[in-house]
């Protein structure tokens, strides 16, 4: 039998990969540039506005892109905050 601790999910405080946790609401409405290494940047979608965070994935945000008018899910590592 496994202990109860082995079956519960770890939180961002216990998992160093998720730390530091980014609060999505602090970025709402901010202008961003996509990282030049992304495919969308190479296709012309270079700038956008953060609409909000994805609740189930820390560090992932919904970004409304200016040129195409689409909304994309992008990780904070692929964004340059302005």
Q: How many domains does the chain have?
A: 1
The pLDDT confidence band at residue 19, using thresholds 50, 70 and 90, is very low
Q: What is the DSSP letter of 69?
A: -
Domain that holds residue 44: 19-81
pLDDT in tens, 28-77: 899 999 999 999 999 999 999 999 988 888 889 999 999 999 999 999 89
Residue 77 lies in a domain: yes
Residue 50 lies in a domain: yes
Residue 5 lies in a domain: no
Residue 61 lies in a domain: yes
Q: What 3-state class would DSSP assign to 7?
A: helix
Residue 3 lies in a domain: no
pTM value is 0.71
Residue 3's contacts (CB-CB under 8 Å, 6 or more residues apart) are: none
Residue 7 lies in a domain: no
């Amino acid at each position: 039998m496994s202990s109860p601790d082995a079956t519960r999910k770890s939180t961002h405080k216990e998992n160093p990969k998720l730390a530091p946790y980014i609060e999505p609401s602090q970025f709402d409405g901010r202008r961003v540039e996509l990282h030049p290494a992304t495919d969308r940047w190479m296709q012309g979608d270079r700038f956008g506005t953060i609409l909000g965070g994805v609740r189930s994935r820390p560090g992932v945000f919904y970004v409304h892109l200016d040129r195409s008018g689409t909304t994309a899910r992008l990780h904070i590592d692929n964004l340059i905050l302005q």
